[in-house]
Amino acid sequence: MGQKKDLTGSEKSKIVRYLAEGCSSLKIAKLLKRDHRTIKRFIQNSQQGRKKRVEKPRRKITAHELRKVKRAAGKMPLATSLAIFQSCNITGVPKSTRCAILRDMAEVRKAERRPPLNKTHKLKRQDWAKKYLKTDFSKVLWTDEMRVSLDGPDGWARGWIGKGQRAPVPLRHQQGGGGVLVWAGIIKDELVGSFRVEDGVKLNSQSYCQFLEDTFFKQWYRKKSASFKKNMIFMQDNAPSHASKYSTAWLARKGIKEEKPMTWPPCSPDLNPIENLWSIIKCEIYKEGKQYTSLNSVWEAVVAAARNVDGEQIKTLTESMDGRLLSVLAKKGGYIGR
């Protein structure tokens, strides 16, 4: 005879009810037509409950060693627990104990992706929000560059940070190294680009303007109607190649002058909706830990991911601008959530 199935949830409920009525395990077995041993085993396991976890004793750390660990955690932001303890010459401490000790004086954090805002930054962000509060954002072209690397996006590493201490802002290079620089824009529900910056080209004022001429102006802007060009507002951040006198004069000769170039507040990536588009694309190309072996392969992945972004997603981003401006004013120029 084959082995019977385990007790069902319904049978377990009936056992509990029968026990409450004072029935014996033998009588319950007969009522449920189950083996007596099965009923007894369930009752015994239920009465025993879960075993309590036995805490293993920690290796004792002296007060002097604790002070050394606290100082090391303050001097070595984002370091691992092993590196912190090794710097104090404290050996033989298991990882669980190291982490338990550090939790009392530090916390695991990511590196800050955004620099802290000072008073001037916040005032300029508020002035910007007030200036463009009544703007029709469906006529604004939001532009930016994104760098994609072969190994994946930076800034995902975590490490221990002392309580009350800010995570450091990592030094990052905009260009150069094993990656591809991509330029794109979004307006209303349309994606402009993506366009690839030629490998090895550093975007200074001259090369940036030439890049716009070869891609944005020739392949997209010149096809638009005169009324569209008249009403379009061109947004770019304050990167040196964007905000230089050379670039400003060059764009003016292209008709993007006076009120058509949007003034941009400092340290404000959270206000540019195209940053959210970059997040969507990066999540797609690096999903499941995907990495790449050549620049062409990662560029092809970007093109494919951008092609899958539909107009409704872009429209959601561009229509979020009214809410972003209100959030900036409500937070008195502080960073807004994205």
pLDDT of residue 171: 43
pLDDT of residue 76: 85
pLDDT of residue 315: 96
Burial of 210 (0-12, 13-18, 19+ CB in 10 A): middle
pLDDT of residue 112: 66
Nearest to 42 by CA among 29, 55, 30: 29
Is 181 found in the same domain as 250? yes
> Is 49 a member of any domain?
no
> Is 161 a member of any domain?
no
pLDDT of residue 10: 81
pLDDT of residue 4: 61
Q: What is the dihedral of CA 91, 92, 95, 99, to 10 degrees?
A: -60
Is 255 found in the same domain as 127? yes
Is 148 found in the same domain as 269? yes
- Contact between residue 220 and residue 186 where contact means Cβ atoms under 8 Å apart: no
Question: Helix or strand or coil: residue 233?
Answer: strand
pLDDT of residue 177: 44
Helices (H) and strands (E) in the chain, counts: 16, 6
Q: Give the C-alpha separation, 154 to 267, whole Å.
A: 19
CB atoms within 10 A of CB 38: 17
- Contact between residue 106 and residue 162 where contact means Cβ atoms under 8 Å apart: yes
Structural domain total, the chain? 3
Paired sense of beta strands 158-162 and 179-187, if any: unpaired
Is 81 found in the same domain as 27? no
The contacts of residue 273 (CB under 8 Å, 6+ apart) are 142, 186, 317, 318, 320, 321, 324
> Is 110 a member of any domain?
no
E strand residue ranges, 167-312: 179-187, 190-196, 233-235
What DSSP state is assigned to residue 2?
P
| 182 phi, psi to nearest 5 deg | -120, 135
Chunked into runs of 10 residues, the chain (338 residues) has average pLDDT values of 69 84 88 89 69 62 91 86 91 89 83 81 96 95 94 62 68 54 97 93 94 97 95 96 96 94 95 95 86 92 96 95 94 85
Parent domain of 30: 9-44
Q: What is the CATH number of the domain that holds 317?
A: 3.30.420.10
Is 197 found in the same domain as 135? yes
Is 84 found in the same domain as 229? no
Residue type, 70: K
**Which residues partner with 195 through β-bridges?**
183
